[in-house]
Amino acid sequence: MSNNTPFVQIYLTPEYNMNYHERITIKPGMRSGKPCIRGMRITVYDVLSYLASGMTYQEILDDFPYLTQEDILACLSYAADRER
């Protein structure tokens, strides 16, 4: 059975896992203190929800041109680190 759903495979190195701290910010007065990307109002949860719903990296970047691929990777890295 063939599945036409786009699939993106990424590999996060241990060195990259440390770098999300530069991109993920938490400010008490912004989005109820949820982790946001570079001080903007888009949260890690927002990005993870888009990915979970089936959006591709490119679709997210097209819808939010101020985001970068590194921002998306930082969200994944942040989530992975929180699961430890």
For residue range 22-81, list pLDDT tens digits in order. Answer: 899 999 999 999 999 999 999 999 999 999 999 999 999 999 999 999 999 999 999 988
| pTM (2 d.p.) | 0.77
Distance from C-alpha of 27 to C-alpha of 11, rounded to nearest angstrom: 29
Distance from C-alpha of 18 to C-alpha of 40, rounded to nearest angstrom: 20
Distance from C-alpha of 34 to C-alpha of 19, rounded to nearest angstrom: 18
**Backbone angle region of 31, left / alpha / beta, with phi > 0 → left and psi within -120 to 50 → alpha:** left
14-82, what's its fold? Answer: Arc Repressor Mutant, subunit A (1.10.10)
Please, which residues bridge with residue 37 across strands? 24
Residue 82 burial (CB count, 10 A):
9
